Amino acid sequence: MAVLAAQDLRKSYGGTEVVAGVTFGIAPGECFGLLGPNGAGKTTTLRLCLGLTDPDGGSVELMRHPVPGEARTARVRVGVVPQVDNLDPDFTVTENLLVYGRYFGLPDQLIRGRIPGLLEFAGLAARAEARIQTLSGGMKRRLTLARALVNDPDLIFMDEPTTGLDPQARHLIWERLKHLLAEGKTIVLTTHFMEEAERLCARLAIMDRGRFIADGSPRELIARHIEPHVVEVHGDGVIEWADREGAALASRLEKSGDTVFCYAKEAAPLLASLSRHGELRHLHRPANLEDVFLKLTGRELRE
Amino acid sequence: MKNVFFPPAVSLRFVPVWRRNLLVWRKLAIASVLGNLADPLIYVLGLGYGLGSFLPQVDGVPYVAFLAAGMVCSSTMNTASFEAMYSAFSRMHVQKTWDAIMNAPLELDDVALAELVWAASKSVLSGLAILAVIWVLGLSRSPLSLAVIPLLPLIGLAFGAIALAMTAMARSYDFFMYYFTLGITPMIMLSGVFFPLERLPAAFQAVAAFLPLAHAVALARPLLLGHFPGAFLLHIAVLLAYALAGFYAATVLFRRRLLG
């Protein structure tokens, strides 16, 4: 039984179809990742799922309630970590959680009982009375995550939860999200960090220009869309090498600036050729999700 | 584009949003009350006693007693307008507080209602503060003046609702300046706040018949001076109509702006 099901969702702004026929379902306990370049339609898809905007076509069922028709009821069991910080700057850390819990109709006593656990979870126990302005970016992000949990939701939406965070803060968030998944929560996550998607999501969809262009587990996507070996080559004369030797040895070549990416089933012939060209430097690595992403959505900048 | 013209779909979920604003206000309450009180008090004392000393009686009472009703109404109006414009705009557009709230089980209409009721609540405090000063100064000794108290929330709702509709159209804070200079200020001049409406040319009086502030003053002044207002049902109906129409317009405009 899906906690979230979208059928042929469509939404246009100013004649451009931002979400152009998207269908998916999310099972309880799953971590589903929505990947895509900026402007792919990820945030609009989330807004449609939450009932914050009406679709031009298609339907959404959230926690078994039709949305947006019964969005108010559906959101009782849902938590949201938005992309931009919208913590209440007039309040302390504790007040932010208390006031947010009230929006769900929870009694103060119940919320106050949950706050110590939430602060512990967010690593903010020592900052309970701190004002929002005194928190670092990572702390604010963690507090936003704690705020999304104040109603003990079954399903949590996260819109780029680690954008703008340093590696320490990012790893801490990932660890917390794994904790939530272990507790049986369902997570829907948008991101453009492939590493994040690979670590957390059992299933992903890659979105571009309003459509899902691929979906599956990270391993499936890599196996289905890309050769297992990648050799990145750069240095003087790399383009000449690529045209003369690389192209024949790799199943696929991509040039990006001064670097040539060689994708191949077997890396040995490429590496042998490169060993005869001391002027070229290279990196041999297994293919990853980022390679899939770049293959499917292209290398050009989006904004 | 979806239909945005359906009637406001509000629920009691607006109460926690109202409480949120109350909690912020409580942190700054003293400064806020003093700020709300200082401006009308300066008018009552400065104009009332200063200018009033040059004037014979106005409509049979000392000028300061005449002015008192105008100050109660315009001060209530100003507080509701400021709150529903500058403060609500901050919460909606700058701090994105509304976005956070709407991820909880509330609708945009709930948030708009909370803002309206909050603006009215705050304006009642302003009006009460001026009323208290009026009673302390002995400018009104009639028990009928107590009937001004239930009038205050109605004034607050009417002007809060109009101001919310302005907020729904505002691209920046500058927009509100136009509303004040082109809307509120001329209205104060045409509503009998500083001088009796009957002194104005007939054309202006005709305009005044449509101004909510004129109807508020037409209710508050007799009550403060100790007699029952004429046509009071009409005045109440006009204020109610502004509150309802303003709120409806605000919800439609907010939906277009935020839920597109």
Q: What is the pLDDT of residues A30-46, one digit of tens each?
A: 999 999 988 899 999 99
Domain contains B1: no
Instruction: Determine, for residues A84 and B96 on separate chains, whether the beta-carbon distance falls below 8 Å.
Output: yes
Q: Which of A86, A144, A156 to mutate to test the interface with B (most CBs of B within 10 A)?
A: A86
Whether B8 is covered by a domain: the verdict is no
First to last CA, chain A: 38
Q: Do A50 and B103 touch (CB under 8 A)?
A: yes
Q: Is any Cβ of chain B less than 8 angstroms from the Cβ of A92?
A: no
What residues of B are in contact with residue A88 (Cβ under 8 Å)? 20, 24, 95, 97, 100
Query: A113 pLDDT exceeds 90?
Result: yes
Tell me the pLDDT tens digit for each residue of B122-166.
Answer: 999 999 999 999 999 999 999 999 999 999 999 999 999 999 999
Q: Which CATH class is domain A4-223?
A: alpha beta
Q: A178-182, A227-231, A294-298, B88-92: which has the minimum mean pLDDT?
A: A294-298
User: How many Å apart are CA B123 and CA B128, to the nearest integer?
Assistant: 8
Share of chain A above pLDDT 90, in %: 77
Q: Is B87 among the domain residues?
A: yes
pLDDT at B225 over 50: yes
The alpha carbon dihedral of A212, A215, A221, A226 has a sign of: negative
Band the pLDDT of A115: cuts 50, 70, 90.
very high
The conformation of residue A64, written as its DSSP 8-state character, comes to T
CATH 3.30.70 residue ranges of chain A are: 227-286
- B20 CB neighbours in chain A (<8 A) are 88, 99, 102
- Burial string for A175-188 (b: 16+ CB within 10 Å, else e) reads ebbeebbeeebbbb
**Interface touch B105/A103, C-beta < 8 Å:** yes
- Rounded CA-CA distance B76/B251 in Å is 23
B99 contacts in chain A (CB < 8 Å): 82, 84, 86
Q: In terms of Cα–Cα distance, which of A41, B210, B129 is closest to A6?
A: A41
User: What's the whole-number mean pLDDT along residues B11-17?
Assistant: 94
Amino acid at position B41, single letter: L
User: Hey, are the CB atoms on A72 and B99 less than 8 Å from each other?
Assistant: no
User: Average pLDDT in the B108-134 region?
Assistant: 95
Architecture of domain A227-286: 2-Layer Sandwich (3.30)
Bigger pLDDT: A300 or A62?
A62
- Token pair of B4 as six digits: 């945005």
- CATH 3.40.50.300 domain range(s) in chain A: 4-223
CA Rg value for chain B:
19
A267-271, B55-59, B105-109, B247-251: which range is least confident on average? Answer: B55-59
Residues with Cβ < 8 Å from A65, sequence gap 6 or more? Answer: A71, A73, A74
Question: In the predicted model, is pLDDT for residue B1 greater than 60?
Answer: no
Beta carbons of B79 and B118 less than 8 angstroms apart: no
Residue B142 is predicted with a pLDDT of 93
> pLDDT class for B28, splitting at 50, 70, 90?
confident
Is there a contact between B11 and A72 if contact means CB atoms under 8 Å apart? yes
Yes or no, beta carbons of A75 and B11 under 8 Å apart: no
- Is B111 part of a structural domain of the chain? yes
Number of domains chain B is built from: 1
**B61 secondary structure, DSSP code:** B
Tokens of A77: 């069991």
Residues from chain B that touch A74, judged by Cβ atoms under 8 A, are 105
C-alpha span between A182 and A201 (Å, rounded): 13
Mean pLDDT, residues A169-186? 93
Contact status of A15 with chain B (Cβ, < 8 Å) = no
Residue of A nearest to B2 (CA): A54
Contact A204, A197 (CB under 8 A): yes
Q: From the CA of B159, how many Å to the nearest CA of chain A?
A: 26
Task: Using the Cα atoms of residue B34, residue B36, residue B38 and residue B40 in order, give the sign of their dihedral.
Answer: negative
Which chain B residues are closer than 8 Å to A151 by Cβ? 104
Instruction: Name the residue range of residue B103's domain.
Output: 14-258
pLDDT over threshold 70, residue B27: yes
Q: Is the pLDDT of residue B7 over 60?
A: yes
Angle at A68 between CA A97 and CA A81, to 5 degrees: 30
Check A53 against B259: CB less than 8 A apart: yes
Amino acid at A290: E
Least confident segment among A38-47, A169-178, B33-42, B68-77:
B33-42
B221 found inside a domain: yes
Please state, rounded to an integer, the average pLDDT across all residues of chain B. 93
Confidence band, pLDDT 50/70/90 cuts, at residue A303: low
Higher confidence at residue A126 or residue B44? A126
| Residue whose token pair is 């005044």 | B208
pLDDT category of residue B56 using cuts at 50, 70 and 90: confident
The contacts of residue B51 (CB under 8 Å, 6+ apart) are B63
**Please, what is the average pLDDT of chain A?**
93
pTM of the model: 0.92
Percent of chain A with pLDDT over 70: 99
CA distances from A222 to A199, A202, A203, A265, B40 (A): 14, 13, 12, 12, 71
Does A86 contact B2 at a Cβ distance shorter than 8 Å?
no
Cα separation, B260 vs B247, in Å, equals: 19
